């Protein structure tokens, strides 16, 4: 088969084959903007190439001999074939005189080193794990390449780029090479390639680089990511002392207690002195997925539920996210609830979706096709605050939302804005933006007060004055004298509905029920124990309670031609207001309508109509 035919066949099969010179870029096609980074081998500029924003690495050494230029071309061709979301894309190379440069994908972000040492950048453990997983995914891709893996050999925080959305690009493959074959009879190499701090003991001893030497470097990257301390081994000033510590004394950076223990174990496994005992990046990825779930969800039952989603989730966002439709189906199954018992139009369904799910950003989908995602972190938080995970967790949460006081996850500043202009004693309940707890914000004549409520196995602990009170649930607290009393309690007088999407869900639900409840069919089929917030007669007019006459003239019933049910006018329907109102939308007299009373009133109406007909 000729070369042209091979290329055609490769194209048909979707195989990328790079021709000599395919990655060559002319100097005239490059325009330089600002400097964005400076390294040992070159300065990186933001620029443009062929109308596209790129990163241009202008090499410090502009006088490479011809064999070195050819080597550079070959390396760029290899790197250009590496396509993975977590690997920085190489686009080409310019080899013209005084313009030796490598052209790469431009990433709008920062390197990991500058992020972890910036005190103004706040990162959660979940976000740190997201970065760690991105690095591991990129490295695993390199190590799984065929016929031979590619070893990075200089993995460190400055060589990891992170976007504002925590997307990761592993970069700076200038020292990468095809894996060296280890020859036990060969003499140790007299020159180690890479940055000494992140070098594994075997590299420092002169052995060839391997996948496991990259794993060692990854362990040190994890240490810097989770401790956010200065560079590892920063106290060491002598290279020989550093080698003695790492090789002979097995010294590693100190792991503080604030790093979660499961993450500490992973770090120790990665920088193990014996390279054969270090995990592969494939194993590291599995471990990170477990760590995400363990870190975010404390409840064991909820953790097991989330792990079930791994079998149903086909998208790449597991374990950090799950699609709402998959999640609610698995959740209902775990709670023993048939899915049709909480239809999408129900307030239970809508309130659960409002607190747990967020819309996936997808400009290519219509509103009807948009997907909602549940984060592992938000589910763990929900169970922490409103748990434990039992069959009544959703209905209990819905009851809290029914009061109108719950506002979801908002911070103190937003809570104060919503309460501005409200009278003293007006309050709202929210999820604390800092901890897995409830915060109660109240308006008083001098400003605002913020009170926290922490849940344990027995209920909610709430500090009132000098005493700490335990309540079995938030609703129990809100209905208690300790919450209502002005003298000895918190004086929570009335809930704030302003801008609460949960209050709006129940208000809309109440309005829809009011419309659907009007009609004799509903009364006939389902109103045995319904509550009615009206003292007027359910038929819109008063009738004489003439049971005797009704019984005496019952035989006249056949004269009205079948006894048509009386029509309820819109006026009488609005007066009767046949809706089970929430306490937040008006008073609720406890009037119980019984089926027997309805039957008797229908008989009286039929009797009067038959008399009039005669």
The CATH number of whichever domain residue 84 belongs to comes to 3.30.200.20
**Residue range(s) defining the domain that contains residue 255:** 110-182+191-293
- Average pLDDT of the residues in 481-490: 90
- Average pLDDT of the residues in 292-307: 93
Element spanning 1, H or E: none
Q: Residues 179, 150: contact at Cβ < 8 Å?
A: yes
Range among 75-89, 236-250, 274-288, 449-463 rated most confident: 274-288
**pLDDT band, residue 368 (cuts 50/70/90):** low
* Of the candidate ranges 37-46, 259-268, 355-364, 559-568, the one whose mean pLDDT is the lowest: 559-568
Of residues 591 and 606, the one with the higher pLDDT is 606
- Average pLDDT of the residues in 458-464: 90
Q: Residues 467, 445: contact at Cβ < 8 Å?
A: no
First to last CA, the chain: 105
- Using the predicted structure, report yes or no on whether residue 242 has a pLDDT greater than 50: yes
Select from 293, 325, 353 the last residue of a domain: 293
Predicted local confidence at residue 38, as pLDDT: 83
136 in the same domain as 217: yes
- Using the predicted structure, report yes or no on whether residue 561 has a pLDDT greater than 70: no
The residue whose two tokens read 């306490």 is 583
Residue 210: inside a domain, yes or no? yes
Residue 243: inside a domain, yes or no? yes
- What are the C-alpha distances in Å from 6 to residues 18, 37, 108? 12, 41, 38
Q: Is 351 helix (H, G, I), strand (E, B) or coil?
A: helix
144 in the same domain as 77: no
Predicted local confidence at residue 573, as pLDDT: 37
Provide the CATH number for the domain around residue 479. 3.30.505.10
Cα–chain-centroid distance for residue 25?
41
Predicted local confidence at residue 371, as pLDDT: 87
**pLDDT band, residue 526 (cuts 50/70/90):** very low
Residue 441: inside a domain, yes or no? yes
409 in the same domain as 280: no
- Using the predicted structure, report yes or no on whether residue 464 has a pLDDT greater than 70: yes
Residue 390: inside a domain, yes or no? no
Per residue in 593-614, pLDDT (tens digit) is 445 555 555 555 554 444 443 4
- Average pLDDT of the residues in 369-375: 87
- Using the predicted structure, report yes or no on whether residue 261 has a pLDDT greater than 60: yes
How far apart, in whole angstroms, are the C-alpha atoms of residue 290 and residue 310?
11
Of residues 162 and 77, the one with the higher pLDDT is 162
- Average pLDDT of the residues in 25-30: 93
Select from 106, 132, 159 the last residue of a domain: 106
Q: Which two tokens stand for residue 87?
A: 């690997």
120 in the same domain as 44: no
279 in the same domain as 143: yes
96 in the same domain as 73: yes
Predicted local confidence at residue 603, as pLDDT: 56
Query: What are the backbone angles phi and psi of residue 15, rounded to the nearest 5°?
Result: -100, 125
Q: Residues 462, 451: contact at Cβ < 8 Å?
A: yes
Predicted local confidence at residue 362, as pLDDT: 66
Select from 88, 106, 124 the last residue of a domain: 106
- Average pLDDT of the residues in 396-413: 95
Residue 208: inside a domain, yes or no? yes
Per residue in 102-136, pLDDT (tens digit) is 999 999 999 999 999 999 999 999 999 999 999 99
How far apart, in whole angstroms, are the C-alpha atoms of residue 381 and residue 389?
12
Instruction: Quote the strand ranges of 361-520, DSSP E.
Output: 372-375, 406-409, 426-431, 438-444, 447-455, 460-464, 467-471, 494-495
Closest Cα to residue 124, out of 311, 377, 366, 301? 377
Which amino acids are annotated catalytic? Answer: 154
Q: What are the residues whose beta carbons fall under 8 Å from the beta carbon of 252, sequence distance 6 or more?
A: 246, 268, 271
- Using the predicted structure, report yes or no on whether residue 42 has a pLDDT greater than 90: no
Predicted local confidence at residue 314, as pLDDT: 61
- Average pLDDT of the residues in 572-580: 36
Predicted local confidence at residue 562, as pLDDT: 41
Predicted local confidence at residue 605, as pLDDT: 54
- Average pLDDT of the residues in 550-557: 44
77 in the same domain as 200: no
Predicted local confidence at residue 195, as pLDDT: 74
- What are the C-alpha distances in Å from 29 to residues 25, 47, 97, 98, 124? 7, 10, 15, 15, 42
Share of the chain above pLDDT 90, in %: 52
- What are the C-alpha distances in Å from 74 to residues 3, 56, 95, 174? 19, 18, 12, 12
Q: Residues 306, 293: contact at Cβ < 8 Å?
A: yes
How far apart, in whole angstroms, are the C-alpha atoms of residue 319 and residue 303?
11
**Would the pTM of this model clear 0.85, i.e. be above it?**
no
Of residues 68 and 294, the one with the higher pLDDT is 294
141 in the same domain as 283: yes
Query: What are the backbone angles phi and psi of residue 373, rounded to the nearest 5°?
Result: -115, 145
- Using the predicted structure, report yes or no on whether residue 16 has a pLDDT greater than 70: no
71 in the same domain as 169: no
Question: Residue 520: how many CB atoms within 10 A of its CB?
Answer: 16
Range among 103-112, 241-250, 428-437 rated most confident: 103-112
Q: Is 103 helix (H, G, I), strand (E, B) or coil?
A: strand
Of residues 266 and 550, the one with the higher pLDDT is 266
Q: Residues 536, 576: contact at Cβ < 8 Å?
A: yes
**pLDDT band, residue 487 (cuts 50/70/90):** confident
Range among 66-80, 159-173, 260-274 rated most confident: 260-274
- Using the predicted structure, report yes or no on whether residue 350 has a pLDDT greater than 90: yes
Share of the chain above pLDDT 70, in %: 74
Per residue in 537-552, pLDDT (tens digit) is 433 444 444 444 444 4
Predicted local confidence at residue 597, as pLDDT: 56
Return the bridge partners of 461, or none.
Answer: 454, 470
256 in the same domain as 120: yes
Q: Which two tokens stand for residue 323?
A: 């699609």
231 in the same domain as 148: yes
- Average pLDDT of the residues in 173-183: 46
Residue 27: inside a domain, yes or no? yes
Please report the DSSP string for 417-461 in residue order: HHHTTPPTTEEEEEE-SSSSSEEEEEEETTEEEEEEEEE-SS-EE
Question: Residue 445: how many CB atoms within 10 A of its CB?
Answer: 7
- Using the predicted structure, report yes or no on whether residue 514 has a pLDDT greater than 90: no
How far apart, in whole angstroms, are the C-alpha atoms of residue 408 and residue 431?
6
Q: Is 237 helix (H, G, I), strand (E, B) or coil?
A: coil
**pLDDT band, residue 569 (cuts 50/70/90):** very low
CB-count burial class (<10 Å; 0-12, 13-18, 19+) for 480: middle
- Using the predicted structure, report yes or no on whether residue 6 has a pLDDT greater than 80: no
Longest dimension (CA), the chain: 121
Q: Which two tokens stand for residue 290?
A: 């477990």
Residue 463: inside a domain, yes or no? yes
C-alpha triplet 351, 460, 464: angle, nearest 5°:
120
Q: Within 13 Å, how many C-alpha atoms sit on residue 178's CB side? A: 9
243 in the same domain as 128: yes
Instruction: Give me the number of domains the chain comprises.
Output: 3
* Of the candidate ranges 191-200, 479-488, 567-576, the one whose mean pLDDT is the lowest: 567-576
Of residues 180 and 346, the one with the higher pLDDT is 346
Residue 380: inside a domain, yes or no? no
Q: Which two tokens stand for residue 490?
A: 């918190």
Provide the CATH number for the domain around residue 200. 1.10.510.10
Q: What are the residues whose beta carbons fall under 8 Å from the beta carbon of 219, sequence distance 6 or more?
A: 266, 267, 268, 269, 270, 271, 278
């Amino acid at each position: 088969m000729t070369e042209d035919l091979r290329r055609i066949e490769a194209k048909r099969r979707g195989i990328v084959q790079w021709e000599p010179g395919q990655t060559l870029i002319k100097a005239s096609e490059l325009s330089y903007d600002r400097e964005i980074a400076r390294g040992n081998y070159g300065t990186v500029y933001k620029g443009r190439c062929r109308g596209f924003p790129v990163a241009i690495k202008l090499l410090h050494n502009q006088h490479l001999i011809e064999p070195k230029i050819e080597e550079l071309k070959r390396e760029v061709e290899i790197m250009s074939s590496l396509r993975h979301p977590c690997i920085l894309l190489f686009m080409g190379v310019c080899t013209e005189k005084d313009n030796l440069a490598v052209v790469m994908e431009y990433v709008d972000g920062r390197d990991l080193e500058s992020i972890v040492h910036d005190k103004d950048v706040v990162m959660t453990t979940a976000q740190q794990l997201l970065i760690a997983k991105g690095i591991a995914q990129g490295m695993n891709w390199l190590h799984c390449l065929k016929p031979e893996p590619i070893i990075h050999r200089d993995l460190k925080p400055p060589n990891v780029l992170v976007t504002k959305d925590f997307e990761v690009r592993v970069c700076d493959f200038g020292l990468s090479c095809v894996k060296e074959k280890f020859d036990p009879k060969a003499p140790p190499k007299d020159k180690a390639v890479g940055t000494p701090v992140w070098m594994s003991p075997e590299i420092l001893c002169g052995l060839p680089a391997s996948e496991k030497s990259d794993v060692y470097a990854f362990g040190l990257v994890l240490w810097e990511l989770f401790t956010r301390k200065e560079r590892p081994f920063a106290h060491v000033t002598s290279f020989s002392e550093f080698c003695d510590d790492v090789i002979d004394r097995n010294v590693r950076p100190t792991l503080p207690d604030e790093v979660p223990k499961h993450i500490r174990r992973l770090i120790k496994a990665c920088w193990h002195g014996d390279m054969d005992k270090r995990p592969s990046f494939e194993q590291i990825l599995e471990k990170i997925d477990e760590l995400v779930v363990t870190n975010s969800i404390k409840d064991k039952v909820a953790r097991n539920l989330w792990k079930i989603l791994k079998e149903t989730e086909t998208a790449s966002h597991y374990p950090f996210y799950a699609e709402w439709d998959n999640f609610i189906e698995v959740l209902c199954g775990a709670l023993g609830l048939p899915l049709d018992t909480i239809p999408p139009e129900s307030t239970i369904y809508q309130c659960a979706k409002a607190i747990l799910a967020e819309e996936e950003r997808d400009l290519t989908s219509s509103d009807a096709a948009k997907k909602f995602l549940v984060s592992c972190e938000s589910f763990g938080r929900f169970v922490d605050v409103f748990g434990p995970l039992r069959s009544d967790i959703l209905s209990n949460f819905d009851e809290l939302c029914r009061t109108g006081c719950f506002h979801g996850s908002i911070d103190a500043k937003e809570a104060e804005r919503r309460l501005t202009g409200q009278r003293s004693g007006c309050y709202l309940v929210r999820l604390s933006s800092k901890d897995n707890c409830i915060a109660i914000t109240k308006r008083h004549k001098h400003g605002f007060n913020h009170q926290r409520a922490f849940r344990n196995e027995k209920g909610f602990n709430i500090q009132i004055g000098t005493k700490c009170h335990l309540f079995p649930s938030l609703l129990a607290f809100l209905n208690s004298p300790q919450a209502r009393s002005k003298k000895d309690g918190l004086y929570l007088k009335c809930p704030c509905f302003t801008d609460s999407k949960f209050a709006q869900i129940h208000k809309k639900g109440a309005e829809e029920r009011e419309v659907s409840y009007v009609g004799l069919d509903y009364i006939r089929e389902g109103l045995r124990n319904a509550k009615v917030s009206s003292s007027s007669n359910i038929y819109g007019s008063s009738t004489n309670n003439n049971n005797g006459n009704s019984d005496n003239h019952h035989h006249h019933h056949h004269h009205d031609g079948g006894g048509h049910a009386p029509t309820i006018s819109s006026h009488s329907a609005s007066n009767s207001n046949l809706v089970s109102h929430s306490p937040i939308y008006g008073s609720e007299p406890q009037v119980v309508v019984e089926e027997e009373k309805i039957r008797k009133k229908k008989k009286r109406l039929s009797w009067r109509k038959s008399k009039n007909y005669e």
